[in-house]
Amino acid sequence: MDAITRIKQLGMPRRNNELWTFFPVNKIPNILSADGNCRIADECSSSEDFANEDDFAALLPIVCNARELVKTIDDGENEMAMLKCNNDFGRTVLNVGKNAKASFEILDNKVMHEICAERFDINVAEGAELEIFFANPANDLPLTFRHFDIKQAAHSTVHFANVLQDAGIGRISARVELNGEGANFDYRSLNILKGTASKHQRLTILHNAPETVSTQFVRNILDENAYASYDGHVVVGNSCSKVNSSQLVNTILLSDGPSVSVKPVLKIYHDDVECTHGNTVGELDKDQMFYLTSRGIPSDKARAMLTKAFAKELFLELPEGPAKKRLMQVI
Residue range at the interface with other proteins (CB under 8 A); choices 1-9, 168-176, 224-232, 288-296: 288-296
Of 71, 84, 277, 312, the residue at the interface with other proteins (CB under 8 A) is 312
Q: Which is nearer to other proteins, 72 or 288 (CB)?
A: 288
235 vs 305, which CB is nearer to other proteins?
305
The CA distance from 188 to 191, in Å, is 10
Q: Which residues within the stretch 152-191 sit at the binding site for other proteins (CB under 8 A)?
A: none
Nearer to other proteins by C-beta: 34 or 316? 316
- Part in contact with other proteins (CB under 8 A); list of ranges 44-52, 137-145, 158-166, 280-288: 280-288
Member of 265, 301, 319, 325 binding other proteins (CB under 8 A) = 301
Longest Cα separation, the chain: 67
Which of 47, 238, 256, 286 is the binder for other proteins (CB under 8 A)?
286
Pairs from 281-289 (Cβ < 8 Å, separation ≥ 24): 281/251, 281/253, 282/251, 282/252, 282/253, 283/252, 283/253, 283/254, 284/252, 284/254
* Using rule CB under 8 A, residue 313 touches other proteins: yes
SS3 assignment for 81-118:
EEEECCCCEEEEEEEECCCCEEEEEEECCCCCCCCEEE
269 versus 290: smaller Cβ distance to other proteins: 290
Q: What is the CA radius of gyration of the chain?
A: 20
> Applying CB under 8 A, does 329 fall inside the site for other proteins?
no
φ/ψ bin of 140: left (φ > 0), alpha (ψ from -120 to 50), beta (otherwise): left
Stretch of 5-13, 132-140, 241-249, 305-313 lying at the interface with other proteins (CB under 8 A)? 305-313
